[in-house]
């Protein structure tokens, strides 16, 4: 059996005998929000609730982690799901990136 990966990292092809079999190996990514000296806790919390579907307690905990640690992975998922959320946070002036 041999194994090949596509360029996106989402599908692994294994050759068994003379057949190629697709095996899904989705790599989850993290939506990272970075601390800054501009945005208020309230704005970050409101944004996480509206954009990332956090409940108020989750959003508040994330904001505290962001503030004290400098950054925090507020959401985990596939790239296609996280990208519009990341862009929406950036549009609100919140520094956000997607990382592994």
Fold of the domain spanning 29-99: Ribosomal Protein L30; Chain: A, (3.30.1390)
Q: pTM of the predicted model, to two decimals?
A: 0.74
DSSP 8-class letter at 1: -
What residues pair up with 97 in beta bridges, in sequence order? 32
pLDDT at 23 over 80: no
Alpha helix (H) residue ranges in 1-100: 41-52, 56-69, 79-91
What residues pair up with 13 in beta bridges, in sequence order? 4, 22
Q: What is the pLDDT of residues 69-84, one digit of tens each?
A: 999 999 999 999 999 9
The 10 Å Cβ neighbour count of residue 94 is 21
Backbone dihedral angles phi then psi of residue 6, each to the nearest 5 degrees: -80, 175
């Amino acid at each position: 059996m041999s194994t090949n990966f596509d360029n996106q990292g989402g599908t692994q092809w294994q050759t068994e005998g003379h057949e190629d079999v697709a095996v899904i190996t989705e790599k989850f990514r993290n939506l990272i929000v970075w601390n800054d000296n501009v945005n208020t806790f309230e704005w970050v919390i409101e944004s996480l609730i509206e954009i990332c579907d956090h409940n108020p307690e989750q959003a508040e905990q994330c904001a505290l982690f962001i503030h004290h640690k400098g950054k925090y992975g507020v959401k985990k998922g596939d790239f296609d799901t996280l990208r519009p959320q990341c862009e929406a946070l950036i549009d609100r002036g919140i520094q956000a990136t997607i990382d592994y």
